[in-house]
Amino acid sequence: MLKMVDHMPTPAAFKLDLPCRPRRLRRSATVRALVEETVLRPEDFIAPLFVVEGKPAPEEIASMPGQFRLSIADLVKECRALRKLGVKAVALFPKLDAKLKNAEGTEELNDDGLILRAVKAVKKALPELVVITDVALDPYTTHGHDGVLNAAGTDVENDRTVARLAAMAVRQARAGVDFVAPSDMMDGRVGAIRSALDAAGFTETGIIAYSVKFNSAYYGPFRDAVGSAQAAGTKSLSKATYQLNPANRREALAEAVLDAAEGADVLMVKPAGAYLDIIRDVRERSDKPLAAYQVSGEYSQIHAAARLGWLDLARTRHESLIAIKRAGADLILTYFAKDEAKALAH
């Protein structure tokens, strides 16, 4: 039999001749912190909040654990809590009573509408807080689309919708909002809104454009939150004729370039987690501030996996947000804003 002889040196004697040892920069928590490349701050976050009519107790959204539909009074309280944690911006979304909805979304024309009163209340209580409002008709329509339908009822009519959105933005500016955020993906709406705001004297009101909004399956819980899924009678409402095809990268860049040219102050990619490559593409193409929306489905799937014990909620939450910022986002709309801000304070 052959005798096996081990000529390998003992572990204690074995040394690699390596001039570069990357692990030197990972050897302690203080060293890792010293060389950390991407840092999250509460100021990076925009907290999306849902507001309802009347004085109900906060109602938790079943598909979004830890998120609530809030009365205006409770909305102001939540904004105060966020501000104390260092979160400096909120985005408001209305949940309307079904009786106020119709095919044209005419409740949006109400100068004393829910979202306008909510803006006034928040700005009165916290004038330094940045308030952002959604410019789209889906919370107001019975069909759940982001605009008004054509005569056949088969598609959203682009130009008539844009006229409504421009007037909507002016009413929101009059209420005191800092930024309007058109989320509809109609052609030409950023330029029309900018022109309408300027003509009405609101040259200081900014536009955060949902420039790259994909026709994503990740929006389901949000549609529950604002009631647009139920209004449409389905959770699989197709918006493929105006939201972007998830397969298209070049088209996404073209949309961002158009919005920048039309006067958008901030560009946005939505969703965030599944489109980190698009965030990076837009970041490299434009010097405009860039926002990314970590949408309801991203939030809810992390919560669901954590509740099953499959993921660590705090670590996964933080990692998901780090990835979005590392990809190039300056601002992150996230339902994790409050919890992550609390964690960053410790």
Looking at the annotation, which residues are catalytic?
Answer: 213, 270
- 315: exposed, middle or buried (Cβ count in 10 Å: 0-12, 13-18, 19+): exposed
> What angle in degrees, to the nearest 10, is found between the helix axes of 296-307 and 313-327?
150
> What angle in degrees, to the nearest 10, is found between the helix axes of 158-175 and 114-125?
30
What span, in angstroms and rounded, lies between the C-alpha atoms of 90 and 334? 10
CB contact at 8 A, 253 and 123: no
φ, ψ at 228 (rounded to 5°): -80, -25
CA distances from 242 to 30, 119, 139, 145 (A): 48, 28, 17, 10
What span, in angstroms and rounded, lies between the C-alpha atoms of 312 and 267? 32
Q: Which amino acid is at 187?
A: D
Strands (E), the chain: 45-52, 59-60, 68-70, 89-95, 130-135, 179-182, 206-213, 266-270, 290-294, 331-334
